[in-house]
Amino acid sequence: MADFVGDTLELAQAAQRFQAEIVAVCGAKFMAETVKVLNPRRTVLLPDLKAGCSLVDSCPEEAIRAYRRRNPKHAVVGYMHTSVEVKAECDILCTSRNAVDVVNSIPASQAILFVPDSNLGRFVQQKTGRRNMQIWQGACIVHATFAARRITALRAEHPGALIAAHPECPQAVLQMANFTGSSSAIVDWCADQSAAEFIVATDSGLRYSLEKRAPGKKFFFVANESCNCSECPYLRANTLEKLAACLETLTPSIELSATIVERASIPLLRMLAVN
């Protein structure tokens, strides 16, 4: 049904090119908020306002404000998986695809707070060698509960399969991966490899894009420890029925104050300028 399918960074970039007066975002609420920040005069719809994110919940805006008051000289790097209010408190934003480049764009002498995903933060810290980087202790309820033993079991069943993992996964999982990257980066990598089978440690909603780009290849998604599945319950809140209803009624829509749009757009545009 979608006119555009992509990861968080691609959605943000596509939002700058949108021409339609009405945009329906079938994703998490923070994604719809980002589209609204970049398109404040357009109507931005979200089929279900309950399509939240555990990372957003783990990082309340007042806690970030308090940190900034205590550490006024620190740069706050915010993952896109944050509320628009938290984004407004950040100096620059990032996605899993560009997080390393974003951190590297900050002077090496500058102390950093990375919010909110701790696994992604550790991955970025290892890639950049930034010792003066504090990491918020947030986690994705899907990726954080992938266990290395599940990958070991899948690899025993499919010994020729290559392993691709999202950087929100625990370090033990990332150490087993042949490739670590964002959702779209995983799709590109799997399509480019000669292997016929892949073990994938990320949300199984990626299957459609993987099979579209790499027809004939097989993908085995790692089941997490919390629900024995690999599905984000928040993203699954968006359904075809809810999409149809919101397009018919133009509700629910994302409404943001001019002040929050102005403040959140600054770190967002800084991120987009890095790419």
Is 232:205 a contact under the CB 8 Å cutoff? yes
What CATH code is carried by the domain that includes residue 39? 3.40.50.10800
- Domain-embedded: residue 104: yes
Give the angle subtended at the CA of 167 by the CAs of 185 and 155, to the nearest 5°. Answer: 85
- Domain-embedded: residue 17: yes
pLDDT at 275: 64
- Domain-embedded: residue 273: no
Sort strands 112-115 and 133-135 into parallel, antiparallel or unpaired.
parallel
Q: HSE on the CB side for 11, CA within 13 Å?
A: 26
Choose one of 135, 153, 184: the last residue of a domain: 135
In this structure, the answer to whether residues 130 and 96 fall within a common structural domain is yes
Report the distance separating Cα 67 and Cα 271, nearest Å. 21
Mean pLDDT by runs of 10 across the 275 residues of the chain is: 85 83 94 94 95 97 97 97 98 96 97 98 98 97 93 96 97 97 96 98 95 97 83 93 98 97 97 86
Q: Which of 183, 271, 233, 226 is nearest to 53 (CA)?
A: 233
pLDDT at 159: 97
pLDDT at 182: 94
Report the distance separating Cα 102 and Cα 133, nearest Å. 13
- Domain-embedded: residue 190: yes
- Give 205's DSSP letter: G
pLDDT at 228: 76
- Domain-embedded: residue 168: yes
Residue with tokens 């780009």, as numbered in its chain: 213
pLDDT at 17: 87
pTM above 0.85, yes or no: yes
- Domain-embedded: residue 99: yes
Which domain, by its residues, includes 214? 143-221
Is 103:130 a contact under the CB 8 Å cutoff? yes
Task: Give alpha helix (H) positions in 16-136.
Answer: 29-38, 54-57, 61-70, 84-87, 99-104, 118-128
The residue count of the chain comes to 275
In this structure, the answer to whether residues 199 and 246 fall within a common structural domain is no
Structure tokens at 46: 């979200």
Sign of the torsion formed by the C-alpha atoms of 45, 47, 52 and 53: negative
Query: What residues contact 157, with CB distance under 8 A and at least 6 apart?
Result: 220
In this structure, the answer to whether residues 127 and 82 fall within a common structural domain is yes
Maximum pairwise Cα distance, the chain? 54
In this structure, the answer to whether residues 59 and 33 fall within a common structural domain is no
Report how many domains make up the chain: 3
- Give 93's DSSP letter: E
Q: How many CB atoms lie within 10 A of CB 69?
A: 8
pLDDT at 54: 96
- Domain-embedded: residue 271: no
Is 235:205 a contact under the CB 8 Å cutoff? yes
Q: Which of 113, 67, 105, 118 is nearest to 270 (CA)?
A: 105
